[in-house]
Amino acid sequence: MVTDEMAKAMEEEYKEQIKLHKGDVAMRKAMTMEEEYRNADVPMPTDEIIKSLEARNTALLNFTEILSKELERLRTDNKKLTKQVNDMLEQFRNKGGL
């Protein structure tokens, strides 16, 4: 169990570490793609794999765009049909059919 004194000591140590490493943040730079793959312990993708993935991505984006357009068309068609059904139902009510 951690006592209050131990917690205060840990907090002070943490604050001291932050002060010591505060200047290091500006010195850091982003890792290159090779470094990231090396750190992840996975093989670096080849140009062939990258091209294949880019082609798949393009195809999926195009398909998504087609589906979005179709969905928009179906929504407008659904609104028209709903209005038409409501109008017909209102006519039946006015004629006394319902």
Q: Check residue 83 and give its pLDDT.
A: 96
Q: Check residue 55 and give its pLDDT.
A: 95
- Which residues, in sequence order, are CB contacts of 98 under 8 Å at separation 6+? 89, 92
Q: Which two tokens stand for residue 47?
A: 């140009």
Report the alpha-carbon angle 72-82-76, nearest 5: 15
Q: Check residue 27 and give its pLDDT.
A: 57
pLDDT, tens digit (0-9, with 9 covering 90-100), for 40-84: 877 888 889 889 999 999 999 999 999 999 999 999 999 999 999
Is the pLDDT assigned to residue 25 strictly greater than 60?
no
